[in-house]
Structure 1
């Protein structure tokens, strides 16, 4: 019996702001979260943030050392709060990670194991960042994986396309939010 959870990853103010020209993606994430709630599928929010003083950031980390140098992205910063378009409801957990993968330095795996989750449905920004890193690590941890292609975005549309069409299908089922909803509806009808 598969027990899924929807991961809404890096849908935080400072990241979503860079993708405001993609309202379709934001609507797809909203629709996925609403559907998960309707089907009693846990929704887990993941954000990247750092503690004051950036003790988690190594000077050797090219991406995050820039943040530590210029400031921002701390756990209390506006940029790290979940975007209002997909705000958590009913005590849905917000996991704070300190690297690119949703698992890196977070309590995500503890939450998933506590809920006996064996299937992850991935959404988020960026396809080449949190989605790719989380997919790879989740596959190594033996989770079944689905990626909702229209509920993910990347600054480079070609990278997004290549990952969705050529890379992700090796370890995950790639489908649109509407296809996922159709599958949920069909599976619910079959069990009735």
Structure 2
């Protein structure tokens, strides 16, 4: 099936736009060294996604939008990794203390920004993210991060399930191969949230700042 056939197949059944909400937060999902070190088995070549996310981070800080970061951290025995750790051949890079779990060059959360350490793919599962967003009155979660087919997608689906608007910034998410990257962007845009450009997102954030 060609891309045109696929779009035609979904037309009229999926792909309705939700649109940006009134009060957003920016989430930077699992931007850690493992995805940017070519010697690591998790290397994703997602440098362009990180650069885009950092530009969004700068705008969000400028206009006073909350910025939230996630990473994956397991204890020394990975006892808290469950089936997720059991299934993977790469998650040992995220055992506490491993340098692959550090923030990459250029990414520095400020002291007043929230870092959520998780053990599973979704940023919502087993964390305080949903209650934090609710308490802040947030209605929109702008997604950046890695990988598109893994933790970004899982976060998007749960974001939708918890009643927040998932906005996925195409330029600011990355994956190790273009096929799952594009397939999951297509599917998230069709069923769960809106896939938008960095340019659209910056314009939205700056308009909020002016208002």
Same fold per superposition (TM over 0.5) = yes
Task: In structure 1, list runs of 5 or more residues that go unmatched.
Answer: none
2:95 equivalent to 1:63? no
1:51 aligns with 2:75: yes
Change (3 A) 1:9 1:60: closer
Corresponding residue for residue 25 of structure 2: 5
What is the match of residue 39 of structure 1? 63
Shift of 1:170: 2.4
Q: Supply the distance in 2 between the matched residues of 1:118 and 1:147 (Cα, whole angstroms).
A: 14
Q: TM-score, normalised by structure 1?
A: 0.86
Aligned length: 186
RMSD: 2.2
Superposed, 1:94-113 pairs within 5 Å as: 94-113=115-134
- Structure-2 residue corresponding to 1:85: 106
* 2:143 counterpart (93, 111, 122): 122
Compute the TM-score of the two structures, normalised by the length of structure 2: 0.79
Is the CA contact (8 Å cut-off) linking 2:60 and 2:205 kept in structure 1?
A: no
Report the 3-state secondary structure (helix = DSSP H, G, I; strand = E; otherwise coil) of the residue aligned with 1:84: coil
- The C-alpha deviation readout for 1:112-148, integer Å capped at 9, x for no partner, is 2232222100000000001110011111111011100
Alpha-carbon distance change, 43 to 59 in structure 1, aligned in 2, over 3 angstroms:
closer
Pick closer, same or farther for the CA change 1:86–1:163 going to 2, 3 Å: same
Q: Distance in 1 between matches of 2:79 and 2:47?
A: 35
Q: In structure 2, do the counterparts of structure 1 residues 113 and 84 end up closer, same or farther at CA, with 3 Å as the change threshold? A: farther
